[in-house]
Amino acid sequence: MDLIRITDVQKTYKTGTVALYDVDLTISKGEFVFIIGASGSGKSTLIKMLYREEKPDKGSIMIGGINVAKLKDRKVYILRRKLGVVFQDFKLLPRLTVYENVAFAMEVFGYDKKKIHKRVMEVLELVGLKGKVRQYPDQLSGGEQQRVVIARAIVNNPKLLICDEPTGNLDPDTSMGIMKVLDDINKMGTTIVMTTHNRDIVNTMKKRVVVLNEGKIVQDYERGKYYEVL
Amino acid sequence: MKFFRSIKRYFRDAAKSVIRNFSLSLASISCITITLIVVAFSIVLSYNVEKMTEHVSSNISIVVFLDGESTEDDLKQIKASIERLDNVDSITFKSKQEYAEETKEMDERFSLIVDSWTEDTIPLLDSYEVKVKDIDLIGDTADKIKKMDKIFSVNYGEEYIESVITIFGVIEKVCIGGVIALVLVTAFLIANTIKLAIFSRKTEIEIMRLVGASNMSIKIPFIIEGSFIGFLGTIIPIIIMSYGYNSLYNYLGGQLFSSSLGRLVEPYPFILWSSLLLLLIGLLVGMFGSYRAVKKYLKI
């Protein structure tokens, strides 16, 4: 069953740069998809459209029954509650502890304290940070910070996890650790869409690979390898 | 239940934010404090001037001296014509005998002279004391009375009164204008300070949006935080105003000048209302400032 259906999407920035052109893409529930491409190929724009940070000029993006392309600013939260986002630069709140950073995502839903505590501890265990709940982000390594971000992204059981170069700032060993966590999450049924530049990760994971070049999808492999031409 | 939990969380988050962003909160609080001290000063000044003007106005009247040959009928007719004028509030008759009695009371030496006067030789005149509704039009009303028949003279302290009224009017207008201008300036100043404070929390707002917080649930804690800051900013101005005005009132004995004209407004309940007004300004300005600032970051 399709979770994401992108049809005929086009995006041109105000500067005149064409970021995406005639993009059609369907992603099913439970898939793990890498989106790869050179810098400026449009992969960031595409992924930003999935969580409605950007709007397409043309075409439609359906995610779990919501037409993201037509979603009004003040309704964006409805979409965001259905998905989790992980960034290269973490975006953690420095003044909150690990626990608070993760709990924050549940508090906006108005859950009671007990439920929040139970679930936060659950996801922190899943990402291997149960022992660091009281620490602040700057006391953690890059890999640990990214695990906190992943915990925050999945704490509300999203159907879709969007990862924008989550290993971009991490060393190879730490990156593989993060990929292990993401793979576990995927195995639990969460659909993952991830952009990356990391050849080793793509080659090791053997997942579906969508290759973008100059705003167009040029390849779509089922169990792909990093596109050699790039 | 969920609603109350959210409200509780909003207040808790707002209180936490004020503490966590202490330096910027302090900047906003100081900004509100300083401007509200000036606002408090203007409120005290303008309200006192207003009361003084009211006091002066209520004590000003036109004294119409009647021609010595006026008969009872003339008096009635004159009274009726004066009462017909738009600006006339009330009219009181004062006979020459009353004036004579008053003169006697002024000094013992006068009583000898006054006693020597008879009904026919009394050199004083009967009068009407006319109070007006609008003090600004007193000159106009006096002129109209002057043109009537059987009037000897019309007196209302002309230039002196007019200049006092004008000066007080100007002071009052300047003060009220000042208060309004100050409140507006404060609102924008605070909006900018809070904007600066919130700018440093752009990421926080961004993350709140990312994890699916609705715009309303992002705005509310910031607005509550703004009102906290506004509230904290009003404490010092209220203390300064209450203590300062009370001390000033006691020190001066409630009088600014020796005459009754400079009577100061009683501290209670004036201070209470002014404090509430300051509190309201502080809260509203804090909320408005926060609202404006956070709204900007909610657009994508």
| In chain A, where the domains are located | 92-156
Domain that holds residue B195: 2-56+163-297
> Which helix (H) or strand (E) covers residue B261, if one does?
none
Question: What's the pLDDT at A31?
Answer: 94
- Tell me the chain A residues in contact with residue B20 when contact means C-beta distances shorter than 8 Å: 95
Domain C-terminal end among B101, B130, B155:
B155
Residue A229's nearest CA partner among A96, A44, A89, A37 is A37
Q: How many domains does chain B have?
A: 2
Tell me the H-state helices in B21-95.
22-59, 72-84
- Return d(Cα B233, Cα B31) in angstroms, integer: 8
- pLDDT greater at residue B33 or residue A228: B33
Greatest alpha-carbon pair distance for chain A in Å reads: 52
Candidates A68, A77, A119, A162, partner chain B, best to mutate (most B CBs within 10 A) = A77
- Tell me the chain A residues in contact with residue B9 when contact means C-beta distances shorter than 8 Å: 107, 110
Q: Are residues B46 and B170 in the same domain?
A: yes
Query: A 23-52 residues with CB below 8 A of B?
Result: 51
Q: Are residues B148 and B44 in the same domain?
A: no
Q: Compute the nearest-CA separation of B208 from chain A (Å).
A: 7
pLDDT higher than 50, residue B107:
yes
- Tell me the chain B residues in contact with residue A80 when contact means C-beta distances shorter than 8 Å: 209-212
Q: A110, B6: Cβ pair inside 8 Å?
A: yes
pLDDT higher than 80, residue B200:
no
- Tell me the chain A residues in contact with residue B215 when contact means C-beta distances shorter than 8 Å: 73-74, 77
Q: What count of other Cβ atoms lies within 10 Å of the Cβ of residue B24?
A: 20
- Return d(Cα B286, Cα B191) in angstroms, integer: 7
Burial of A47 (0-12, 13-18, 19+ CB in 10 A): buried
Q: A77, B213: Cβ pair inside 8 Å?
A: yes
Q: B210, A85: Cβ pair inside 8 Å?
A: yes
Q: Are residues B44 and B174 in the same domain?
A: yes
Residue B230's nearest CA partner among B29, B34, B37 is B29
The answer to whether A3 touches A28, Cβ cutoff 8 Å, is yes
- Return d(Cα A78, Cα B74) in angstroms, integer: 87
Q: Compute the nearest-CA separation of B282 from chain A (Å).
A: 28
Q: Are residues B51 and B90 in the same domain?
A: no
Q: B211, A110: Cβ pair inside 8 Å?
A: no
Q: Which range among A91-100, B114-123, B259-268 has the greatest average pLDDT?
A: A91-100
Whether residue A104 lies within 8 A of chain B, CB to CB, comes out as: yes
Residue B185's nearest CA partner among B31, B24, B291 is B31
Question: What's the pLDDT at B160?
Answer: 67
Residue A175's nearest CA partner among A84, A48, A88, A46 is A88
Question: What's the pLDDT at B20?
Answer: 75
Tell me the mean pLDDT in the region B246-260: 78
Q: Are residues B109 and B13 in the same domain?
A: no
Question: What's the pLDDT at B13?
Answer: 76
Q: Compute the nearest-CA separation of B299 from chain A (Å).
A: 7
Question: What's the pLDDT at B29?
Answer: 87
Three-class DSSP category at A21: strand
Chain A residue at shortest CA distance from B210: A80
Q: Using 50, 70 and 90 to split pLDDT, how confident is the model at B158? A: low
Question: What's the pLDDT at B253?
Answer: 80
The answer to whether A29 touches A3, Cβ cutoff 8 Å, is yes
Candidates A80, A104, A108, A120, partner chain B, best to mutate (most B CBs within 10 A) = A108
- pLDDT greater at residue A136 or residue B93: A136
Question: What's the pLDDT at A229?
Answer: 47
Domain C-terminal end among B135, B155, B175:
B155
Q: Are residues B167 and B74 in the same domain?
A: no
The answer to whether B178 touches B41, Cβ cutoff 8 Å, is no
Q: From the list B5, B213, B300, which residue is nearest A53 (CB)?
A: B300
Domain C-terminal end among B131, B155, B179:
B155
Three-class DSSP category at A18: strand
Regarding beta strands B151-155 and A66-67, do their DSSP bridges make them parallel or antiparallel, or are they unpaired? unpaired
Tell me the mean pLDDT in the region B279-287: 89
* Cα dihedral: A45, A46, A50, A54 (round 10): 30
Q: Are residues B106 and B236 in the same domain?
A: no
Question: What's the pLDDT at A33?
Answer: 95
- Return d(Cα A230, Cα A219) in angstroms, integer: 12
- Tell me the chain A residues in contact with residue B6 when contact means C-beta distances shorter than 8 Å: 110
pTM: 0.66
- Return d(Cα A212, Cα A229) in angstroms, integer: 12
- pLDDT greater at residue A27 or residue B34: A27
The answer to whether A221 touches A203, Cβ cutoff 8 Å, is no
Q: A93, B207: Cβ pair inside 8 Å?
A: yes
Q: Are residues B77 and B124 in the same domain?
A: yes
% of chain B at pLDDT higher than 90:
9
Q: B5, A81: Cβ pair inside 8 Å?
A: no
Tell me the mean pLDDT in the region B145-149: 82
Q: Compute the nearest-CA separation of A80 from chain B (Å).
A: 5
Digit-by-digit pLDDT tens for chain A (230 residues) are 789 999 999 998 888 888 898 899 999 999 999 999 888 888 889 999 999 988 899 999 999 888 998 888 888 888 998 899 998 888 898 888 999 999 988 887 778 889 999 999 999 998 999 899 999 999 999 999 999 999 999 999 899 999 999 998 888 888 999 999 999 999 999 999 999 988 888 888 889 999 999 899 998 888 766 655 44
Q: Using 50, 70 and 90 to split pLDDT, how confident is the model at B198? A: confident
Domain of residue B132, CATH code: 3.30.70.3040
% of chain B at pLDDT higher than 70:
93
The answer to whether A230 touches A195, Cβ cutoff 8 Å, is no
Give the A:B interface size as CB pairs under 8 Å.
53
